[in-house]
A and B are shown apart, each in its own frame.
Chain A
Amino acid sequence: MEETHIGDGTLVQRFPKSAYEDSSDKRAAELWREDPEGVLAGQCLASVETDPSRDQSSAVVALAVEQPERFRELVGKLPELIQDIFFQHYLLGRTQTQIAEVLGMMQSSSGLMGVSQNLKLGVMGLCAVIAWGGPPAKAEWEATGREKELLEAYRRMERLRGRRGRALEVRSALTGKFVIKTSDPLLEQVFAPEAPDGPVGRGARC
């Protein structure tokens, strides 16, 4: 039994990971590295990593970093709004706030879900595209069992297809000057956000 104290001093006892858990963790990591698409499609092993109800964004990161062309091809099959969220999040490392602003998702009147919800939906939709070898045909949307969850997400995601925001005019208040004052209200805009939450940001900061 391993004993550790957490923040408030509480003693927490944990059983150490079994040899099986250790090896399955290792195997899952290897699979992500070798075949992120296979993991997303649920072809490799039945575990947390292939359960679509769990977060599979790490496999998407692996796909974006290691097979960017394939990532672009697959994401290109998703609705335009989801593509914009994926490209900005996974390729450019932009924060969810920045993404929401540029896509006009900050206003409740937009009728759009938040970036994180759309990311989750998009990951499920991407899993469906991979598992079906392309966008599932409408006739297949009524599948049952394990696939039902994927298809349900895909159907919800498809509602966003063809949705276009109106053209946006932005006038940046930045000066672009070499010298900047500490009192400048735009100081923060000159620097990267403190915690970019896209993989590029994470990758660059590891």
Chain B
Amino acid sequence: MLIEQGRVATLRGKPWAAIDVASEARIEEIVLHIARWAGKVLGEKAFQLLFPVKRRDLSGVEMLTPHLYGRTADLQDFLVVKEVRGAWPVFDEETREVISVEDRFVQEVMAKAREAADGWSAGIKRGSFVRVLFGNERMLCGEVEEMRGSLAVVVIRLRSRTVRLTIPSQALLNLSFVPKREREYFYAD
């Protein structure tokens, strides 16, 4: 996932800062805080943050790399990211300069992250068993009743009510390998 603000075209080709995270288990919370921090502290400045997710499921997020990558016109901006608990840039302790990472490398990671994001919903069609990955219905499972272009209509059969959710198929994880007898809205492997 790529989170951005401002005129990001001005950042093309520029290097990135690697951002360490204290806990992979808290990673989503940390990324959200960095995004909020950017909106608040950097104002209109162009900003990009790559959250390279390999896999998402009930147990959380698995990253493609141990770091997040962020960039602005001046990487020293990231020294302030320490205001976000659990996140800090990789920097030289003597010079206090943020260490830059080549754009080419981060673009490769980004391509893999895009591929992974497309992968978890690949093959979803009518009748597929899926898990909702984002939004208020996250982690609930259901069956795709209908595809409307890039949108899927998912029927989630709770014990006390039925929910019919229309959501982009990219927000779903394809669990069609789950045998029919095990398909419950609370499926947990």
Residue ranges of A at the interface with B (Cβ–Cβ < 8 Å): 68, 80-81, 83-84, 87-88, 91-94, 98, 101-104, 163-172, 174-183, 187-192, 194, 200, 204-206
Q: List 14 A-B contacts (CB under 8 A).
A: A68-B188, A80-B160, A84-B160, A87-B159, A92-B139, A93-B58, A164-B161, A166-B161, A171-B166, A172-B137, A174-B167, A182-B36, A190-B1, A204-B59
CB under 8 Å from chain A, chain B span 137-171: 137-140, 150, 158-171
Do A164 and B160 have beta carbons less than 8 Å apart? yes
- Tell me, rounded to whole Å, the shortest Cβ–Cβ distance linking A118 to chain B: 11
Contact, CB under 8 Å: A194 / B29: yes
Chain B: minimal CB distance from A53 (Å): 27
Interface size on B, residues (CB 8 A): 49
Contact of B168 (CB < 8 Å), options: A170, A175, A200 = A175
Q: Is the CB of B170 within 8 A of A163?
A: no
Contact indicator A180/B2 (Cβ below 8 Å)? yes
On whether the beta carbons of A93 and B47 are closer than 8 Å, the reply is no
Which residues of A are found within 8 Å of B161, using beta-carbon distances?
A: 84, 103-104, 164-168
Residues from chain B with a CB closer than 8 A to the CB of A178 are: 1-2, 113-114, 117
Q: How far is the CA of A182 from the CA of B1 in the complex (A)?
A: 12
- Does B137 lie within 8 Å of A102, measured CB to CB? yes
Spell out B's residues near A (CB within 8 Å). 1-5, 23, 25-26, 28-29, 31-32, 35-36, 38-39, 47, 58-60, 113-114, 117, 134-140, 150, 158-171, 184-186, 188
The closest CB in chain A to the CB of B33 belongs to A194
Given A84-B160, A172-B168; 6 other pairs, CB 8 A cutoff: A83-B160, A92-B186, A98-B138, A172-B166, A177-B170, A192-B60
Docked CA distance A87–B185 (Å)? 9
**Shortest Cβ-Cβ A-B pairs, 5 listed:** A176-B168, A176-B170, A165-B161, A87-B186, A80-B159
Q: Which residues of B contact A164 (CB under 8 A)?
A: 160-161
Contacts of B163 in A (CB 8 A): 102, 167-168, 170
Output the nearest chain A residue to B37 by Cβ-Cβ distance.
Answer: A182
CA distance A42 to B159 in the complex (A): 29
A179 contact set on B, CB distance < 8 A:
1-4
Most buried by B among A87, A164, A172, A177: A172
Cβ–Cβ contact A176 & B159, under 8 A: no
Q: Determine the distance from Cα of A164 to Cα of B158 in the docked complex, in whole angstroms.
A: 10
Whether the Cβ atoms of B139 and A102 lie closer than 8 Å is no
Q: How far is the CB of A129 from chain B (nearest CB, A)?
A: 16
- What residues of chain B lie closer than 8 Å to A98, measured between beta carbons? 136-138
B167: which of A91, A176, A177, A190 is its contact (CB, 8 Å)? A176
